[in-house]
Every structure is written in structure tokens, then in C-alpha cells.
Amino acid sequence: MKTLASWAPAPNLTVTAIESGDPDWIVTVDSRDAEQDRDRASCPVCGIQSSSRHSSYIRTLRDLSAQGRRVNIQARLTRWRCRNDQCDRRIFAGRLPTLATPFARRTARLAGIVRLFGHSVGGRPSERLMARLGMPVSDTTILRSVKECVGAQPTRGVVRVAGIDEWAWRKGMTFGTVIVDLERRQVVELLADRSAGTAAHWFKKHPEIEVVSRDRAGLYADAARQGAPQARQVADRFHLLKNFQETVERQLGRFEAPIRASAVQFEGDLDTLEQPAIERSNGCSDTVAHERLLRRGRAAARKAMFDDIRALYEAGSPVTEIARKLGLGPRRVYRWVRRIDLPEPSAMEPKVCTPAYFGVPGAPLGRGIDQSPASGSRISVIEATPARLATWRASSLRGAAAALPQEKRVKGLRWTRKPRRRHTCEAWTR
């Protein structure tokens, strides 16, 4: 059973009465005996102590729930007169810093629970959960307390280790950039977009940054190189583990061939490497340009591997030894040693549904519009499209007719439609 001391919401408070109301518990406390000096109190404006009592009043506060029911605290406080003529405050009330902040309607421990739920699950979910626990608070009050807590935080210090990554203003639609102080584990800035120029502009305003933790993409690498050249760039642990996990899943899933060593050997620090220039022709996006760069890299690695095979073969090494040294299959090595030049990658043969299958020149039909000369070529290609379509269709019909068996191709056969018999009332009565 709860005693009067266990019902006290803060130390040094005297509980005078406990009443069980219809929906709530009502706890009455007297703070006049809990003040450090009963005969005087300090003015919150000028700080001068006053011993002149004015009156007393009851302050109502909402506290933590008990047995699933709300608890209201009624604290009797003293009003004092400020005797300082230079002070703007004439009458002030006694403060209870251990119980609640000035002008608050909830106790300090209940306000802490509200902020904790607001940070964890948000506004409306916190409202439903707090009502279920017997401490009803609106969602707007929860969000306002979270914002007030963030605004009351001290000013941010110097950022030495900054983590940068992208985040979504709207999932899958609009992306921004988040910058985090990794030493204090606090969000420092939210940028409107995820461009290298915006991030570099922010880095230039903070020359004290020593380490930049980022993902393995080249966007934020360029931003750190332009805005903070003095900082050292490192890859964060999350992206390293994520890339490692994806690689292990691909290998264990047997979806890809075994990993081979990179054909390009890098020396020195990753921060000092020069990024290869990406050609952006015809206004292509960064993704398309990156795919072109990867395709050129794979072609260069394939050419280097072919040269190594030819060099080892001409030196007198057998096929099995070449395959063992380079980590390739014997069939592939045997096929390549019989060639003088590098074979082209195998391409899929054209299907019947494509114009290239019938030998129509210029297939597909839309190719060549943007690459043609500027003087009237765009209109000429568009006007020639119907003729090319007619040629393709005629070729497809001839090919389909040639594929039919001979016994089904009967000349002079004419199909006639049999007239439909109409049922009358006389036919039904027979």
C-alpha cells in the first residue's frame, strides 16, 4: 500500500492529503515547508531576497499515472513581494525546480516521458500510447515539447569528424544531404539537395573539419575534395559492411563467377587518386555515364587478360598452366590461344519480331534521327519511316508464308460463309 511519502512527486515535499476522485487521483502537497528558507525567497528577476509575504495559491500539475489512472498534484505555493524599487517585478511566486519548470502544466518527470515517446515513435502514435498508459497528451503537445527540447540545446561546438550521406525528404522522390557530428552523435545540418556544389559550399564554411566519413560513391568525394581539401576521407562502417554482405550473398547464391583480382593496381592514398573523366554526350544522366565508364573498364580488363594469355602461350606455357595462373577455365584459354586478335563479345541473334532479322538496313527504325546531319535530316528520316515499316511488314509476311507446309497452301480455295438458320415459332411448334 502506498504511503504518504511514496506519493510525494519530489523530495522535500510534504503530502497533506490524497483523494480518489471520479477519474483521477488528487495529491495535495504543501511546499511552504520545503523551501530552503521559510521566511524569505529570491526574486527571479533581480535575485534579491524578500521576506514580505503577499498570499498563497494552488498550482495544479499533471504527474505520472497510478494504477492506470491519472494523477493531479495540487501544490500550495507562496507569493512574495519584491522590495527592490529598481526591479520590474512587484510580486513573484515561489519556485519548485525539483518538481516542475516555471509556467509548466506537467511535472518534470512526466515532461521527460513525453519527450522520450515523441523522439521514439512520433506524435500520433505517442498520443495513443500515452492515453493507454493513463497519461493523455495531444500529439501537438508532444511535438511542441520535442521542438522546445531541441531549441533549448546548447550551441554546437567545433565539428572535427563529419559524416555525410543522402536522405529522403520524400521517399523515392526528393533527396537531400544530412551531415552528422560523429563525435557528439548529433545532426549538424540538413542540406536541400544532394549535389556536390552544395556540400562543398558547406565544407568551406567549416575549415576545422579533419575527417570526412562518406559512402563509396564519387559525389561526396568530389564535394569533400573541393570544400575540405585538408580533411582525410574515410569510408564509413555501414557501407563497408553492406557491400561485403552483398558480395557474400552473390557468391553463396551462385549467381556470379568467382571474384578475380582487379586488373588495375592502385598505389597511394585513395584521397589522392584522380577520378577518370566521365563523358556526358547528348545530355545523358550520371547513371548512364557511370555505366559507360564501367563498360570501358571491363573492356580494358578483357583486353589485358587476352594479352597476358597470348604472352604466356608464346613463351611456351601449356594451356593448363595458363588457366591455373590466370584463374580461367581451360576451354576459354584454349579458345583464345587460337586467335590472333581479341574476339568480340557474343551478342544475341536478332529475333523474328525485329527488323534486323529480315536484313532491313538501319534497324531499329528510330536509330539515326539524332545522329544525322542538321540540314533537314530529321524530317527526311521521319518521312522515310513508313516506307521502312512497309518493307519490314512485307518481309515478315513473306517469311511467315514460306514457313507454312506445302499441303496447306491450296490455290484457288475460297472460303464462303454458311448462312445462319433462323428459328421461327413454327419450327419450335413442330
Amino acid, single-letter form, for residue 412: G
Q: What is the mean pLDDT of residues 323-345?
A: 82
Would you say residue 213 lies in a domain? yes
- Do 138 and 176 lie in a common domain? no
Percent of the chain with pLDDT over 70: 67
More confident residue, 422 or 166: 166
In this structure, which amino acid lies at residue 234?
Answer: V
User: Number of folded domains in the chain?
Assistant: 4
> Do 94 and 69 belong to one domain?
yes
pLDDT of residue 50 exceeding 60: yes
Whole-structure pTM value: 0.41
Residue-wise pLDDT for 56-94, tens only, equals 888 899 998 888 888 988 888 888 999 888 888 889 888
Cβ contacts of 34 within 8 Å, gap of 6 or more: 12, 13, 14, 96
Residue at 32 is within a domain = yes
Average pLDDT of the chain, as a whole number = 75
* 121 and 172 both lie in a single domain: no
pLDDT band of 157, cuts 50, 70, 90: confident
Q: Is residue 93 part of a domain?
A: yes
pLDDT digits (tens, 9 = 90+) for 235-282: 888 888 888 888 887 777 654 445 555 444 444 444 444 444 545 555
Average pLDDT over residues 294-317: 87
Q: Is there a domain that residue 92 lies in?
A: yes
Which residue among 252, 284, 311 closes a domain? 252
Cα–chain center distance at 291: 22
> CA dist 108 to 4, 10, 102, 333, Å?
20, 10, 10, 76
Reported as a pLDDT band with limits 50, 70 and 90, residue 417 is low
Q: Where are the alpha helices (DSSP H) in 54-136?
A: 108-121, 123-132
- What percent of the chain has a predicted confidence (pLDDT) above 90? 10
Q: What are the Cα distances from residue 312, in Å, to 81, 107, 302, 316, 325? A: 101, 82, 16, 7, 10
Tell me: do 39 and 53 sit in the same domain: yes
- The 10s digit of each residue's pLDDT in 361-416 is 444 444 444 444 444 444 444 455 566 566 666 665 565 555 555 444 444 445 45
Q: Are residues 25 and 100 in the same domain?
A: yes
Q: pLDDT-derived band of residue 20, with 50, 70 and 90 as boundaries?
A: confident
> Is residue 393 included in any domain, yes or no?
no
Same domain, 93 and 48: yes
DSSP secondary structure letters along 152-164: TSPPP----EEEE
- The letter for the amino acid at 86 is Q
CA distance 15 to 3: 10
Query: Based on the domain organization, do 35 and 98 belong to the same domain?
Result: yes
Between CA 21 and CA 67 the distance in angstroms is: 13
Residue type, 157: G
Q: Are 172 and 246 part of one and the same domain?
A: yes
Name the residue with higher pLDDT: 119 or 426.
Answer: 119
C-alpha cell at 418: 454458311
Length of the chain: 430
198 in any annotated domain: yes
DSSP line for 92-103: EE---TTT--TT
Q: What nine digits make up the cell of 290? A: 557511370
* Structural domain boundaries, residue 147: 111-151
Same domain, 129 and 182: no
pLDDT of 156 strictly over 70: no
Question: Which range is most confident: 2-11, 354-363, 367-376?
Answer: 2-11
| 33 — pLDDT class (breaks 50, 70, 90) | low
Decide if pLDDT at 49 tops 60: yes
Average pLDDT over every residue of 121-125: 89
Domain finish residue from 290, 316, 346: 346
Q: Is 78 part of any domain?
A: yes
Residues 92 and 134 in one domain: no
Q: Which of 53, 69, 58, 66 is nearest to 30 (CA)?
A: 58
pLDDT at residue 182 tops 60: yes
Both 116 and 100 in a single domain?
no
HSE toward the beta carbon, residue 420, CA cutoff 13 A: 3
C-alpha cell at position 89: 517585478
- The three cell numbers of residue 116 are 522520450
Interval 200-241: pLDDT, tens = 999 998 889 999 998 877 888 899 999 999 999 998 888 888
Query: Of 223, 252, 281, which residue constitutes the final position of a domain?
Result: 252
Mean pLDDT of 314-321: 88
CB 187 within 8 A of CB 174: no
- Among residues 153, 132, 130, 151, which one has the least CA distance to residue 142? 130
284 lies in a domain?
Answer: no
CB environment 71-102: b (16+ within 10 A), e (fewer): bbbbbbbbebebeeeeeeeeebbbbbeebbee
Contact (Cβ atoms closer than 8 angstroms) between residue 32 and residue 78: yes
User: Same domain, yes or no, for 240 and 185?
Assistant: yes
pLDDT at residue number 271: 45
**CATH number assigned to the domain comprising residue 312:** 1.10.10
